[in-house]
Structures are given as structure tokens and as C-alpha cells.
Amino acid sequence: MSRLAVPKTYKLYIGGAFPRSESGRTYEVLRADGGFLANVAKASRKDARDAVVAARGAVSGWSGATSYNRGQVLYRIAELLEGRRAQFVAEIEEAEGASRAVASAQVDEAIDRWVWYAGWADKFAQVAGNANPVAGPYFNISVPEPTGVVAIIAPQDSSLVGFVSALAPALVAGNSVVIVASERFPLSAISLAEVLATSDVPGGVVNVLTGSPAEIAPWLASHSDVNALDLVGAGDLDWVSLEIEAADTLKRVLRPEGGADAAAPALGRITAFTETKTVWHTKSLK
């Protein structure tokens, strides 16, 4: 007699904990072949707001960590992903109906992108910053700083690599994130949250919502305590309305991207969620 499997309950990830949706709602996620895969939490407006509160609370710690430290913490996620490689491959095979080779390639790419971004943590400021030769006796330097709380609609057509490609760059500079996973392929996002929970990323730095992006995105776009909105995976939503809502609080907005090249690794994805701060100081021998 074969062993009876123990299925996992997929919940939200908010403030370092795994709550169910406060609404009590779930939705059914299916396999590629149409079979039942899981009941996943369907996040509500209240969940989104809780996630923003958690993200805001985590800003000062994460943005205040040294770049070297953030780089190491992010690199460790890649290490943990590597250790759980088989789990992610199996999950993607089931959810996307992909072959083992294709699923493995997706996991490999996701891990490699984490490593690529982790390495930027203590370098992007040197590329994006400047010492400014002003015409006077002043020390003057411009440095990129994290924008604050970034809300992300993750790419909808992949389980892991799209999610990672949107999440990792926002973390590099020290932002806190509320990310809405792919509606169809949310399982890897929650499994990744389990990795984050056991890594050294402080609770609240990453908050993962599952459910309907169409329902959740407007709350995030209009939320006054969200500083930036990455609509990379919002191509099928009414993203122009989201951009208009974001304008009320002058959020920084990244637009939807589509195709195989969506959210490709780019320094620009890091700097898009930074603010340039220029500090002047007088120079004097006195």
C-alpha cells in the first residue's frame, strides 16, 4: 500500500507570519490538467492593508542594515532555494504542467537571479551615486536610497521566476515589499515565503498576498503609505486606472511588461525604487 501524502495548506505571508485571509476566503487552484491542487487564501482589502502596515514597520530595520548585510541575507535565500530545489521543481511541474527539464530550468534561473541581485546590494550605490564637484567649498554627494514600501503585482504567467524577478530587485536597495502573487500559479510564491521566513530576512520586509490581483491592486495603488507601485504583472488588469490612482500620492510607477523577457534582470529595476539624496556640507579649516 502506497503512503498517503500530507498536503500543505497555503496561506498568506504577512509580517513574518502565515495567517489565513481575515475574510476567511479561499480559491481553488488547479493543476495544468484541471485537477484540484490546493485551496489558496484569497486576500482581502484588509489583508492588503495589514501587509502595508507590516511593510512600513520593517522599513527602518531593513533599509538601515548595511549593504553588505543585505547582500548576504539575500544570497542566503539563494542558498536555501538551492536546498529546496526539488520541491520547487515538483511544484512547478504540477502547477504549470511543465516537463521536469523546463521546471528545473525555471528554478535554476530564479536562483541565479537571486544571486545576481544579491551581488548588487553593496555596488549599485557606487554606480547610481555621484560625488558632485560644486562651485564652492562644499562636500557634496548623491546617493540612492530606498523609496520605502513597494507594492508589486507579480508576473502572472510563471510560478517562480517571474515572482523572484519582481521581488528581488526591490529588496536590494532596502525597500519593504507587498507582493501579489500570480493568481493562477501562487504556490511557489508561498513556498518561497517559507524560505524567506526561515532565512534572515526580517519579518515584514516581504509580504505575500495571494488572490485576485484585480481585486487587491486598487487598494495598494491608492494606499497613502505605499511609495511605489510595480505593475510588471498587471498587463491584463486596468493598469491605466491603477496608475491614475497611484498619482494621487505621486507614487513611483513601473508599467506592465509582457513576454519571455518580462522583468529581465536589470540594474534599472533596482534604481527604479530608489530616491537620490544629495547631501551638502560646508568645508572649512576653522
Partner 1 sequence: MSFLEYAPAPESRAILSLRDQYGLFIDGEFVEGRGTPFQTISPASEERIAMISNANPADVDDAVAAARRAYDRTWSKMSGRDRGKYLFRIARLVQERSRELAVAESLDNGKPIKESRDVDVPLVAAWFFYYAGWADKLDHAGLGAGPRAHGVAAQVIPWNFPLLMLSWKIAPALAAGNTVVLKPAETTSLTALIFAEILQQADLPPGVVNIITGAGDTGATLVAHDGVDKVAFTGSTAVGRAIAKQIAGTDKKATLELGGKAANIVFDDAPIDQAIEGIVNGIFFNQGHVCCAGSRLLVQENIHDEVVERLKLRLSTLRLGDPLDKNTDIGAINSKEQLERIRMLSDVGVAEGADRWSVACEIPENGFWYAPTIFTNVQTSSRIAREEIFGPVLSVLTFRTPAEAIAKANNTPYGLSAGIWTDKGSRILAVADKLRAGVVWANTFNRFDPSSPFGGYKESGYGREGGRHGLAAYLTPAPVGQAAISAGRAGAKSVSAGRAAAKPRIEAKDAAKNTRTAPSRSAKAAKKGAAK
User: Contact residues for partner 1 (CB under 8 A)?
Assistant: 102, 104-106, 108-109, 112-113, 115-116, 127-128, 130, 132-136, 138, 140, 142, 147-148, 161, 224, 227, 232, 239-240, 243-244, 246-250, 252-258, 260-261, 263-269, 272, 275-282
Q: Which is nearer to partner 1, 69 or 249 (CB)?
A: 249
Residue 77 CB, nearest approach to partner 1 (Å): 16
Q: Which is nearer to partner 1, 32 or 115 (CB)?
A: 115
Residue 103 CB, nearest approach to partner 1 (Å): 10
Residue 191 CB, nearest approach to partner 1 (Å): 20
Residue 100 CB, nearest approach to partner 1 (Å): 12
Residue 35 CB, nearest approach to partner 1 (Å): 26
Residue 190 CB, nearest approach to partner 1 (Å): 22
Any residues with CB less than 8 A from the CB of 188 and at least 6 apart, and which? 88, 91, 92, 95, 159, 160, 163
Q: Which is nearer to partner 1, 13 or 273 (CB)?
A: 273
Residue 108 CB, nearest approach to partner 1 (Å): 6
Find the length of the chain: 286
3-class SS string, the chain = CCCCCCCCCECCEECCECCCCCCCCEEEEECCCCCEEEEEECCCHHHHHHHHHHHHHHHHHHHHCCHHHHHHHHHHHHHHHHHCHHHHHHHHHHHHCCCHHHHHHHHHHHHHHHHHHHHHCCCHHHHHCEECCCCCCEEEEEEEEECCEEEEECCCCCCCHHHHHHHHHHHHCCCEEEEECCCCCCHHHHHHHHHHHCCCCCCCCEEEECCCHHHHHHHHHHCCCCCEEECCCCCCCCHHHHHHHHHCCCCEEECCCCCCCCCCCCHHHHHCCEEEEEEEEECCCC
Record the cell numbers describing residue 157, joined without a space: 504567467
Q: Which is nearer to partner 1, 9 or 132 (CB)?
A: 132
Q: Which is nearer to partner 1, 40 or 150 (CB)?
A: 150
Q: Which is nearer to partner 1, 13 or 239 (CB)?
A: 239
Q: Which is nearer to partner 1, 132 or 198 (CB)?
A: 132
